[in-house]
Chains A and B, each alone.
Chain A
Amino acid sequence: MLHNSLTKSYKKVRDTHITLAHGSGGKAMRDLIDNIFVNTFDNPILSQLEDQASLDLASLMQQGNRLALTTDSYVVDPLFFPGGDIGKLAINGTVNDLAVSGAKPLYLTCSVILEEGLSIEILQQVVTSMKIAANQAGVEIVTGDTKVVHRGAADKLFINTSGIGVIPSKFKISAYNIQPGDVVIINGHLGNHGAAILIARGELALDTNIESDCQPLNDLVATILNVCPQVHAMRDVTRGGLATVLNEFSLSSHVGIRLFEKSIPVREEVQGVCELLGLDPLYLANEGKLVIVVAKENAEKVLSAMKSHPMGYDACILGEVIDSPVGIVLLKTIFGTERIVDMLVGEQLPRIC
């Protein structure tokens, strides 16, 4: 429900497209914020329309002993793609960054930069999608900001979301905690998001049914931590793919990691796109993948808990932690040979032949 005093003041936005007036600080902006954001996000903290959200400390402190704070900006092109859109991504990305610390994600901010000329209908679709994603993840969007820039100064719509969550005292999850002998677990197929975006850009003129894996991981994380509070390290696998996360893990914890090529789950359609373009699915982006490092004795219970969850149905063990070479990720190929899986220097570029 909106705050009573506000329901009187806002008028319907009659413009069909964003103009500079919507960022001016005047009535047009107020109408846009009320109509689109406050009305859609619909929660009592935001509806106060203060310059900040006031959160009750006592209730936060009951849930844990540390606050998790994260921020991320979303600039994906195209705004809508199979399996998601920039709004869903902006919620799930930030929720996932919080969740992998063991935190229960609670409150998010929403800052948008709008390009003059953006269709208000598109903005409404994105904001609605944010609301649906926030509901699914169980978080509230409690404060925000709107800026409008001249046509050409931004690409349609950029979103920044920051989020806070509370970490229960029993969880000590960190990239620095990994031990030789640990096993590496993933919750499903790699590269769906990266491949879906490549296809959605339309430059390849390929027709596939690949969908982004964009999803909130907090419930899956809670399920895992419920059976195994002693998870050593956990990350959501996003830009740079699994290879990048594991390289960071190996550097932080001064260990080596060995992946088993035969265990790496990649959908055939995604593999096909990679074959065609000379890309490696280990470096493709994901938006709903979780990599977990646990002690070997905990692996089976974590795995079975994950498999019982819809977002971890395809979970599997795909690697092990070794004491050397330190700071290096190795891949045991299907032929039994070993090679390095290095960090990418820049963006993966398609090979020409």
Chain B
Amino acid sequence: MKYINEFRNPQKAEALLLEIKKLSQSLEKPIKIMEVCGGHTHSIFKYGIEELLPTNIELIHGPGCPVCIMPKGRLDDAISISQNPDVILTTFGDTMRVPGSKLSLLQAKAQGADIRMVYSPLDSLQIAKENPQKEVVFFGIGFETTAPSTAFTILQAAEENITNFSMFCNHVLVIPALAALLENPDLQLDGFIGPGHVSMVIGTELYQFISQDYHKPIVIAGFEPLDILQSIWMLLHQLLENRCQVENQYSRLVQPYGNKIALEAMNKVFEVREIFEWRGLGEIPNSGLKIKSIYSQFDAEVKFTIPNAKVLDHKACQCGEILKGVLKPWQCKVFGTACTPETPIGTCMVSSEGACAAYYKYGRFTQVFQNKSINQRVVIKNQ
């Protein structure tokens, strides 16, 4: 398959790994690299990339899974909207299982709410046209990757004068989150693998503060195994040459100033929220998007009374530390015991892009069960 198979070539990976190993021998101390995006986390686990790296290169799995950082309160709000009998709530697939404080969308659906999975927010407009007596609310989540498509949906709804469509906007921005992370004194990172899809929209220039103000190198990377390995190789070069730059490994898609059309649509429809709560990371200024007042007829937060209650995370859950890269998933007190993909306590265990779910799903044997038995997991955890 073109543009996929080339980037999964084992021989090329071997050659890159050899180079990485050579370079790593010159490192004075072990290094920690954070992959920001959940898509990278998913690929790293799917292909076992951590296992291939020299032991002095550690990957920290960052907060770039939009499902994982959604606070319980916002999910409760979405569920509350969906429980209105005149509402059809539409959403992307992987938000369905995320636990709110009492229910997930999947459970709310089973209890009678009309919740439908869509592949594109534009599908919501079709549903709205087919159900003129209902209000169709799209539960929009995601970084700058998905925000343009929801912006286009609202622009199209305005153009077609669709009055029974609105959106519950929970889009978040990657740059303020990175800034908040870099301000965190617990964090000890040597560099970043930057998000490829987000950068396709926003470009590479906005990351300059990471190199200029925080003196960390960042390489924007694609999502195939060779992309990730090459970006690690590029980071190593920067570190060994004492450079801190924004580099673009994903140049087949990412341009320095991003995608103009997508950015224009976002700017037309959205404005920055003063504050948005991130699960595990707390409130981050200027990190969320809301719908501009000129499009308020499509804003579910205007159309509906939203409970807007703050819900504290479970006391035992350490998603915050995991999202900041301070703890590894298996170091969390409840990982694999009380918190599993069947009974997720924290959101990192829900989405396949969450670090905990990835470790549990793909790596709990290789990373945690050195004794090669599933039953010894609890013993290892208790030690």
Segment touching A, from B77-85, B249-257, B288-296, B368-376: B368-376
- Give the contact-size bracket for chain A: 20 to 34
Q: Which residues of chain A from 300 to 353 have any CB-CB distance to chain B below 8 Å in the complex?
A: 324-328, 330, 333-340, 342, 345-346, 349-353
Instruction: State the CA gap A120–B42 with chains docked (Å).
Output: 48
Q: With an 8 A cutoff between CB atoms, is B341 at the interface?
A: yes
| Chain B residues, Cβ within 8 Å of A337 | 47-49, 51-52
Instruction: State the CA gap A328–B362 with chains docked (Å).
Output: 11
**Cross-chain contact B94 with A324 (CB below 8 angstroms):** no
| Chain A residues, Cβ within 8 Å of B360 | 342
Residue of A nearest to B365 (CB): A340
Residue of A nearest to B92 (CB): A352
A-B contact pairs, 22 of them (CB 8 A): A203-B118, A203-B123, A268-B1, A324-B373, A333-B48, A334-B10, A335-B13, A335-B47, A335-B225, A336-B10, A337-B48, A337-B52, A338-B51, A339-B362, A340-B363, A349-B93, A349-B94, A351-B351, A352-B67, A352-B94, A352-B142, A352-B146
Distance of A335 from chain B, by nearest CB (Å): 5
Residue of A nearest to B362 (CB): A339
Q: With an 8 A cutoff between CB atoms, is B260 at the interface?
A: no
Instruction: State the CA gap A173–B64 with chains docked (Å).
Output: 47
Instruction: State the CA gap A61–B87 with chains docked (Å).
Output: 60
Instruction: State the CA gap A342–B119 with chains docked (Å).
Output: 25
Distance of A208 from chain B, by nearest CB (Å): 13
Distance of A244 from chain B, by nearest CB (Å): 14
**Cross-chain contact A353 with B48 (CB below 8 angstroms):** no
Distance of A207 from chain B, by nearest CB (Å): 15
Number of A-B contacts (CB under 8 A): 102
Which of B48, B143, B146 is close to A339, meaning CB atoms less than 8 Å apart?
B48
| Chain B residues, Cβ within 8 Å of A351 | 39, 42, 93-94, 351-353
Distance of A202 from chain B, by nearest CB (Å): 11
The A interface, classified by DSSP as helix, strand, loop or mixed, is loop
Q: With an 8 A cutoff between CB atoms, is B342 at the interface?
A: yes
Q: With an 8 A cutoff between CB atoms, is A145 at the interface?
A: no
| Chain B residues, Cβ within 8 Å of A330 | 365
| Chain A residues, Cβ within 8 Å of B330 | none
Q: With an 8 A cutoff between CB atoms, is A181 at the interface?
A: no
**Cross-chain contact A325 with B46 (CB below 8 angstroms):** no
Closest 10 CB pairs of A and B: A337-B48, A349-B93, A352-B92, A350-B93, A339-B362, A337-B51, A353-B145, A345-B341, A349-B94, A325-B372
Distance of A248 from chain B, by nearest CB (Å): 15
| Chain B residues, Cβ within 8 Å of A204 | 119
Distance of A270 from chain B, by nearest CB (Å): 11
**Cross-chain contact B361 with A334 (CB below 8 angstroms):** no
| Chain B residues, Cβ within 8 Å of A203 | 118-119, 123
Instruction: State the CA gap A277–B93 with chains docked (Å).
Output: 10
Distance of B209 from chain A, by nearest CB (Å): 24
Q: Please name 13 further chain A to chain B contacts, defined as beta carbons within 8 Å, in addition to the given A203-B118, A337-B47, A338-B51, sorted by A numbering.
A: A272-B1, A277-B119, A324-B372, A325-B365, A327-B374, A335-B48, A335-B52, A340-B364, A342-B361, A345-B341, A346-B97, A350-B93, A350-B117
Instruction: State the CA gap A325–B49 with chains docked (Å).
Output: 21
**Cross-chain contact A333 with B119 (CB below 8 angstroms):** no
Q: With an 8 A cutoff between CB atoms, is B66 at the interface?
A: yes
Q: With an 8 A cutoff between CB atoms, is A275 at the interface?
A: yes
Known: A350-B92, A352-B67, A352-B92. A338 touches B48 (CB 8 A): yes
| Chain A residues, Cβ within 8 Å of B52 | 335-337
| Chain A residues, Cβ within 8 Å of B146 | 352-353
| Chain B residues, Cβ within 8 Å of A340 | 361-366
Q: With an 8 A cutoff between CB atoms, is A212 at the interface?
A: no
**Cross-chain contact B373 with A349 (CB below 8 angstroms):** no
| Chain B residues, Cβ within 8 Å of A334 | 8, 10, 47
| Chain B residues, Cβ within 8 Å of A336 | 10, 52
Known: A324-B372, A350-B92, A351-B93. A345 touches B342 (CB 8 A): yes
Residue in B1, B49, B365 whose Cβ sees the most chain A Cβ within 10 Å: B365
Instruction: State the CA gap A352–B52 with chains docked (Å).
Output: 28
Residue of A nearest to B118 (CB): A203
Q: With an 8 A cutoff between CB atoms, is A271 at the interface?
A: yes
Q: With an 8 A cutoff between CB atoms, is B106 at the interface?
A: yes
Distance of B7 from chain A, by nearest CB (Å): 12
Distance of A261 from chain B, by nearest CB (Å): 9
Indicate with 1 or 0, residue by residue over B336-354, a CB within 8 angstroms of chain A CB atoms: 0000011000000001110
| Chain A residues, Cβ within 8 Å of B118 | 203
| Chain B residues, Cβ within 8 Å of A324 | 372-373
Instruction: State the CA gap A278–B197 with chains docked (Å).
Output: 14
Distance of A262 from chain B, by nearest CB (Å): 8
**Cross-chain contact A335 with B123 (CB below 8 angstroms):** no
Q: With an 8 A cutoff between CB atoms, is B210 at the interface?
A: no
Q: With an 8 A cutoff between CB atoms, is B152 at the interface?
A: no
Known: A324-B373, A325-B372, A342-B361. A335 touches B93 (CB 8 A): no
**Cross-chain contact B353 with A333 (CB below 8 angstroms):** no
Instruction: State the CA gap A334–B46 with chains docked (Å).
Output: 11
